[in-house]
Structure 1
Amino acid sequence: MKIYVCFSVILMFLCIFFISGALSELERLEHPVTKSDGSLSFLVVGDWGRKGEFNQSLVAHQMGIVGEQLDIDFVISVGDNFYDDGLKGDNDTSFEASFSHIYTHPSLQKQWYSVLGNHDYRGNVEAQLSQVLTQKDWRWFCRRSFVLSSGMVEFFFVDTNPFVEKYFTDPEDHTYDWSTVLPRNKYISNLLHDLDLEIKKSRATWKFVVGHHGIKTAGHHGVTQELVDQLLPILEENKVDLYINGHDHCLQHIGSDGETQFLTSGGGSKAWRGDIQPWDPKELKLYYDGQGFMSLHITHSQANFIYYDVSGNVLHQSSLSKRSVLL
């Protein structure tokens, strides 16, 4: 009788657990740690896919040089992977013209982890998520939202596009592929729930969130208020170290000591000269209105990030520190 009662109680709690949606549905994957000291190095580029034009090829060349110097483990793309309207299908030659034929340096023959930007949603989203592209170029990995673990770092990739109200109410004559996003409110609610759950259960030394749209930015698009209202509280509550994004075609670092740092790397091709909005100079550590990219080198005690322009010149570098935890 006691065994039956115990079993019934356990079953009841399991049912509540599953029905309440307490299990995250975010795909999880791991990138192996290859360096003997456990450190991690990677590049971040966004808003790039223009078939080599608008200095995309020059940025790619410098990425290759820096990638070799740092012995990078992988590359992160923060969206707007293919202009102007994403891919038409998984056989769209824009994939090779904007990706495979551009990022050819030996150091860039590493895994690319990508999220979608608003321009990608103007095309066939499923094409970018397709295994067909991975078969064409093994480096390509793109999902809407997922979790990537690599040693002492966990990355939480977030699909920020459905948060933006104007894409649904005032699409500016653009057609977006919302085929598997609707109903929108449920999609966003589930995503926020899963993200919060994954960050809370993370035991990683460093926690980085990656999305396309900016939360704090002095760039052309300005802050994405929907993310300020819905995503920022999760970052703050869970003490996320970095929020990394693109969308604004610039290089940017905004942050205050002891808080989440906001890093924009949207200079992969076309940039917007002289397009900057007012921001507190105490927080705005860098604003560069040209092409370029960013590198990060992570150890157990430090996260170092460097911004480079289209010629490979260092524009800005900064770091975060963690105190060693003695067990």
Structure 2
Amino acid sequence: MAAGLNSEYMALCLVLMISSFGLCLVSTHAELRRFEQPAKTDGTLSFLVLGDWGRKGAFNQSEVALQMGRIGEKLDIDFVVSTGDNFYDDGLTSEQDKAFEESFTQIYTAKSLQKQWYSVLGNHDYRGNAEAQLSLHLRKIDSRWLCLRSFIVDAELAEIFFVDTTPFVQSYFADAEGHTYDWRGIGSPRAYVANLIKDLKLALSESSAKWKIVVGHHSIRSIGHHGDTKELVSKLLPILKANKVDFYMNGHDHCLEHIGDAESPIQFLTSGAGSKAWRGDIKKQKTGGLKFFYDGQGFMSVQLTRDAAEIAFYDVSGNVLHRWTATKSLYASI
């Protein structure tokens, strides 16, 4: 009898150990992966931001790419940020999908753009084989490509927190409108979002970077076609405010846009005009704090020093449409 109890006790302990180890593995796996991105030797940082672009060069994608190359050389950029919807209309079909090279490698050919590209998934990417875009195989085809669901880029002067926003949007699960989404790796969307928020809060609270930037596909504030994303307003925005995030950058709306927040120093920057634009498609009820809106194709540049930030938006011809500059001391006191 005693031997039997001892055996049961040992078995229970083993189960608990395995369970605990399993929880530890899940927790470790959920932590945001971090990548080091050196700043320039003088401590400054510059990069381009582009979203909603992959159309095999169509809808002015090639023209935007040309101007990106020109501005990228002028600013001596360190890397490129993609805000999602990387391949239209429905992402990639597989790791071997030629659309990857036809919409990326063969389009962004300028010397200045042969830098690391940090990318998140958009809702259109989830309509294809989302796992394919996360695959290491694509990095073998083009070493510039780095796409994960959520991760951190530590660029010394700034930390950039990339957030997988598509699983936040409840309508994609409730009514797919005839689309098929690749939810592999997500599991329960509620648990997935809760864990992501937990990890983001921790990472932001521990950050000592001079500039904190969060990148996602969906907008928090926008007067464009999609407008504000209510799930991000309720779940993500409070975290950004609490941790004094400087910029939230996104795509999704096919426009260029700059909105300030009346209650915090956060600047909402939309760069989703990499190819097809939605001309004239503006929400009638405008969001307060609007500084700039353009419904044509283009992209955005970001230049950072320890004391100042300069944001610029460019059209398909490379013209500067809007430039905004603020010192860190003044900006932090808004």
2:303 pairs with 1:303:
no
CA offset digits 1:181-234 (Å, max 9, x no partner): 011111000000000000000000100000000000000011110000100000
CA offset digits 1:161-198 (Å, max 9, x no partner): 00001100111100000011011111000000000000
**Equivalent residue number for residue 8 of structure 2:** none
**Equivalent residue number for residue 10 of structure 2:** none
User: Could you say what the CA RMSD is over the residues aligned between the two structures, in angstroms?
Assistant: 2.1
Identify which of 63, 70, 73 aligns with 1:65.
Answer: 70
Distance 2:35 2:245 in 1: 19
**Equivalent residue number for residue 182 of structure 1:** 187
- 8 Å Cα contact 2:64-2:274 kept in structure 1: yes
Deviation of residue 18 (structure 1)? 6.0
Change in Cα spacing, 1:137 to 1:23, as seen in structure 2 (3 Å) is closer
2:289 pairs with 1:283:
yes
**Equivalent residue number for residue 13 of structure 2:** none
Structure 1 gap ranges (5+): 1-13
Identify which of 279, 290, 293 aligns with 1:273.
Answer: 279
1:288 aligned partner, one-letter code: Y
**Equivalent residue number for residue 3 of structure 1:** none
1:87 aligned partner, one-letter code: L
How many equivalent residue pairs?
310
Change in Cα spacing, 1:252 to 1:38, as seen in structure 2 (3 Å) is same
| Secondary structure of the corresponding residue to residue 56 of structure 2 | coil
CA offset digits 1:105-152 (Å, max 9, x no partner): 110000000000000000111110011100000100000000110111
2:153 aligned partner, one-letter code: L
- 8 Å Cα contact 1:250-1:288 kept in structure 2: yes
Greater percentage in helix: 2
CA offset digits 1:25-79 (Å, max 9, x no partner): 110111112x221000000000000000000000000000000000000000000
2:162 pairs with 1:157:
yes
2:164 pairs with 1:142:
no
**Equivalent residue number for residue 235 of structure 2:** 230
| Secondary structure of the corresponding residue to residue 85 of structure 1 | coil
1:90 aligned partner, one-letter code: E
- 8 Å Cα contact 1:24-1:197 kept in structure 2: no
1:31 aligned partner, one-letter code: Q
The equivalences for 1:1-327 within 5 A come to: 25-33=31-39, 35-256=40-261, 259-278=265-284, 283-323=289-329
Structure 2 gap ranges (5+): 1-19
- 8 Å Cα contact 2:161-2:214 kept in structure 1: yes
Deviation of residue 86 (structure 1)? 0.3
Distance 2:244 2:204 in 1: 9
2:38 aligned partner, one-letter code: P
Calculate the TM-score normalised by the size of structure 1: 0.91
Distance 1:22 1:105 in 2: 38
- 8 Å Cα contact 1:24-1:198 kept in structure 2: no
| Secondary structure of the corresponding residue to residue 329 of structure 2 | coil
**Equivalent residue number for residue 11 of structure 2:** none
